Amino acid sequence: MPDLHLVGGTVVTADGSFRADVVVRDGRIAALGLDLPPGSAEVVDVAGRLVMPGFIDAHTHMDMPFGGTVTADNWDTGTRAALAGGTTTIVDFALQEPGRGLVDAVEAWHAKAAAKTRIDYGLHVAITDLTDAVKREIAELPAHGVCTVKLFMAYKGTTLFTADEDLFEVLQLAPSSGVLVMVHAENGDVIGKLQAQALARGDVDPIWHARTRPAGVEAEATDRAIRLAEIADAPLAVVHVTCSGALDAIRRARERGRTVYAETCPQYLVLDDSALARPDFEGAKFVCSPPLRDARNQEPLWGGLRMGDLLLVGSDHCSFDFAGQKELGRGDFTKIPNGMPGVEERPFVLWTHGVGEGRISPEQFVAALSTNQARVHGMYPRKGVIAPGADADLVVWDPGRAVSATQSNRHGDADYTPYEGMAFTGGPERVYVRGRLAFHDGAVRAEPGSGRFVERAFDTPGMGPAVR
Ligand code: URP
Ligand code: ZN
Ligand code: ZN
């Protein structure tokens, strides 16, 4: 592969922006500077464009069974959509099958991913069955390139649900194993009770998904998870934070000096719970957990991103078709598969409504989508940075690119987009994965199977990753 020179652009990093040409050799960043001799390199003029580290989405669900069905996107279609937004690495959740081990889950997910993925990938393991053997297995995960596990405080009545005593024990075991615990923080007992009461009253429509998971159940569980982590003296990552109550708990913990990393998702920044009330069962398209909230939660979330209490924006891409999948819940909202697409839209939403509307800076955009993702999830400085030695995962971002999201211009496989009709300004023109052109002017070029597994680890086992 000849060297590649991206010439004339502005490099945007989490720390600052500056004019520099970028030299790529053998799939890695070789140099940054001005007036570097091109030699025999392929020279690409990126004047007027921003050059950013490839985006990392550490919250996706590809080819995942959920609610009696399987996500609409597999690793081929899901990573095709990811590339169309500038995402060059995802970290997906390998689900432990009850009765099986954690390494089994990792192997099962490699079997789904390896031949299909068009971008690099890492794996978390979602623990669903904490047997004594599984407790011992946690320490083995880093040897398999996995340094994060997720536990669900919600979904009571399914195999995903984890009781406090098990969550607490994992929090005790994780730090000395070099593993970071991630939580889905919603009070599963309260949700179960509210759901049963709603169904008994005949309240079966999609809006009841949100009404039976009020913000308080998330705020309470977030605070409880943080307190359990505090007792166990473990770092913690809280995923898909949706509301100011949960954010307050996170902020208070950080003020106490606790290591709590928090993520929100694009849907919580720009969509709200009124969408679940759309007629003709359309509200089911917006069913995800935790649910979309009252719009008054949006500005506090943007503030959390600006102030650093929310370090990450992940997509929680978990797509189901409206036809045949979301429809499983007609007449009973608890049977609507939870989740929505977003791996493609995540950067567009954050740029248009974040940077474009003055809520966050371009540097904070890069931090939330790339650099902090690499740091919190054990990939830094191989990923998430434009610096000599790093993988040449690069996004050439055109801040003037205008696109209106609609189903027919999406690159994933779901039969709808929750962002239908939303106008975006700013988008990727070119995307490189380890120096190879993977997306250009609307066309995905990377082939299925061209992505590689990223072995992730924390430099200092037990200490958790260092993020400002
Ligand atoms: O609704 C969602 N978020 N589905 C995916 C599973 C999860 O809890 O992240
Ligand atoms: Zn979750
Ligand atoms: Zn998720």
Q: Which pLDDT does position 248 carry in this prediction?
A: 98
Closest CA to 364 of 53, 18, 86, 13: 13
CA of 115 relative to ligand 1 center, distance in Å:
25
Any idea which ligand is nearest the CA of 71?
1
Whether residue 466 is contained in a domain is answered as: no
Atom 2 of ligand 1, nearest CA residue: 339
16 plus 125 within the same structural domain: no
361 plus 244 within the same structural domain: yes
254 plus 367 within the same structural domain: yes
Inform me whether the pLDDT recorded for 24 exceeds 60: yes
> What would the mean pLDDT of 250-267 be, rounded to a whole number?
98
- CA–CA separation, 256 and 364 (whole Å): 24
Whether residue 274 is contained in a domain is answered as: yes
Any atom of ligand 1 within 6 Å of the Cβ of 338: yes
Q: Which pLDDT does position 76 carry in this prediction?
A: 98
Any atom of ligand 1 within 6 Å of the Cβ of 317: no
Tracing tokens 């919250």 back to the chain, one arrives at 59
> What would the mean pLDDT of 330-339 be, rounded to a whole number?
98
Cis geometry, peptide bond prior to residue 381 (ω within 30 degrees of 0): yes
Any idea which ligand is nearest the CA of 59?
3
Give the Cβ contact number of residue 200 at 10 Å.
8
Any atom of ligand 1 within 6 Å of the Cβ of 184: yes
Any atom of ligand 1 within 6 Å of the Cβ of 238: no
Q: With beta carbons less than 8 A apart as the criterion, state whether 250 and 308 touch.
A: no
- CA–CA separation, 4 and 12 (whole Å): 18
Any idea which ligand is nearest the CA of 184?
2
Give residues with Cβ within 8 angstroms of 232, minimum separation 6. 168, 171, 172, 175
Question: Candidates 59, 149, 289: which one to mutate for ligand 1, based on the most atoms within 8 Å of Cβ?
Answer: 289
Question: Candidates 239, 338, 343: which one to mutate for ligand 1, based on the most atoms within 8 Å of Cβ?
Answer: 338
Tracing tokens 């959920």 back to the chain, one arrives at 66
91 plus 22 within the same structural domain: no
355 plus 236 within the same structural domain: yes
Give the Cβ contact number of residue 148 at 10 Å.
25
40 plus 59 within the same structural domain: no
CA of 67 relative to ligand 2 center, distance in Å:
13
Q: Which pLDDT does position 468 carry in this prediction?
A: 46
Domain at 220, CATH number: 3.20.20.140
Any atom of ligand 1 within 6 Å of the Cβ of 61: yes
> What would the mean pLDDT of 109-113 be, rounded to a whole number?
98
* pLDDT band, very low/low/confident/very high, at 465 (cuts 50, 70, 90): low
Inform me whether the pLDDT recorded for 461 exceeds 60: no
- CA–CA separation, 179 and 463 (whole Å): 9
Percent of the chain topping pLDDT 90: 96
Any atom of ligand 1 within 6 Å of the Cβ of 292: no
Whether residue 416 is contained in a domain is answered as: no
Which string of b and e fits 360-369 if b means at least 16 CB within 10 Å?
bbbbbbbbbb
Any idea which ligand is nearest the CA of 60?
3
Rounded to two decimals, the pTM is 0.98
Any atom of ligand 1 within 6 Å of the Cβ of 188: no
Domain count, the chain: 2
Task: Report the nearest atom of ligand 1 relative to the CA of 338.
Answer: 1
- CA–CA separation, 436 and 306 (whole Å): 33
Q: Which pLDDT does position 130 carry in this prediction?
A: 98
CA of 206 relative to ligand 2 center, distance in Å:
19
Q: With beta carbons less than 8 A apart as the criterion, state whether 350 and 370 touch.
A: no
Atom 4 of ligand 1, nearest CA residue: 339
Please compute, for residue 18, the number of CA atoms within 13 A of its CA located in the half-sphere on the CB side: 12
Whether residue 349 is contained in a domain is answered as: yes
397 plus 287 within the same structural domain: no
CA of 398 relative to ligand 2 center, distance in Å:
32
The number of residues making up the chain comes to 468
- CA–CA separation, 275 and 293 (whole Å): 10
* pLDDT band, very low/low/confident/very high, at 220 (cuts 50, 70, 90): very high
139 plus 42 within the same structural domain: no
Q: What is the DSSP string of 49-63?
A: -EEEEPEEEEEE--S
Looking at every residue in the chain, the average pLDDT score rounds to: 97
Inform me whether the pLDDT recorded for 9 exceeds 50: yes
* pLDDT band, very low/low/confident/very high, at 462 (cuts 50, 70, 90): low
21 plus 98 within the same structural domain: no
Inform me whether the pLDDT recorded for 353 exceeds 90: yes
Give the residue with greater pLDDT, 452 vs 1: 452
Q: Residue 397 is part of which domain span? A: 4-52+388-401+424-444
Any atom of ligand 1 within 6 Å of the Cβ of 410: no
Q: Which pLDDT does position 96 carry in this prediction?
A: 98
The dihedral built from the CA positions of residue 90, 65, 243 and 250, taken in this order, carries a sign that is negative
Model confidence over 149-190: pLDDT tens digits? 999 999 999 999 999 999 999 999 999 999 999 999 999 999
Q: Which pLDDT does position 2 carry in this prediction?
A: 77
CA of 442 relative to ligand 1 center, distance in Å:
28
Any idea which ligand is nearest the CA of 92?
3
27 plus 79 within the same structural domain: no
Q: With beta carbons less than 8 A apart as the criterion, state whether 53 and 395 touch.
A: yes
Inform me whether the pLDDT recorded for 38 exceeds 90: no
The Cα angle at residue 187 between residues 185 and 188, in degrees rounded to 5? 110
